[in-house]
Amino acid sequence: MEKEAVSVHIPQVKLGTQGFEVSKLGFGCMNLSGAYNKAIPQEEGISIIKHAFSKGITFFDTSDIYGENHANEHLVGKVGELKKLVEEGKVRELGIGIVPYSPLGRGFFGGKGVLESVSIDSSLTAHPWFTAENLEKNKRIYGNVERLTKKHHSAPPQLALAWVLHQGNDVAPIPVGTMRDRTILGPLLIHLQRL
């Protein structure tokens, strides 16, 4: 018997004082162009962005430093919505709310460096959190997080994002991801319904 699809509504929040509304949960696009891992094929990146948009994500974070030769901005710009947002005056910097960067601890809450090793292609190999001398500390901290997630019937990424999302109505975190239905987007959207 097939599982019935779960319909999820992601709430919108106003960021700052200009009336700009975005989804309460954003999507960090950096890793689509390679940062923590190798860049993924452009078609796959576009597919991931479209999938997130179809689930109600309207807040996509990009930067000209993500990927070589502005690759990430070009990738995100291929959804077609970016141009409309610029024309509507909604792509700007001043008066916005809080946009927590890397709310999943650069993959830590997904088990990176604890349950799975860090890829040699990843920029994380130079990050102090993921160096050999910190791996045992990470395992202890991650163990504490896992015990807490069992209490709340969730996964570590869900718990981390739920905590960030509860910090205020003007907060829209931007977790970074590459896979459509991994531990972040699919289960998180279901978990958000309970909040």
Pick the closest to residue 46 from 54, 56, 35, 38 (CA basis): 54
Q: How far apart are CA 73 and CA 68, in angstroms?
A: 10
Name the active-site residue from 36, 66, 101, 142: 66
Identify any residues that bridge with 141 across adjacent strands, giving them in sequence order: none
Q: Report the Cα 181 to chain-centroid distance in Å.
A: 12
**Helix segments in 62-184, DSSP class H:** 71-77, 81-87, 132-151, 156-165
Strand 20-23 and strand 27-28: pairing?
A: unpaired
Q: List the one residue out of 68, 52, 87 whose CA is nearest residue 181.
A: 52
Kindly list the distances between the CA atom of residue 137 and the CA atoms of 106, 117, 149, in Å, as whole numbers in the listed order.
16, 15, 19
Q: How far apart are CA 73 and CA 100, in angstroms?
A: 19
Q: How far apart are the first and last CA of the chain?
A: 29
Respond yes or no: is residue 66 known to be catalytic: yes
Residues with active-site annotation: 66
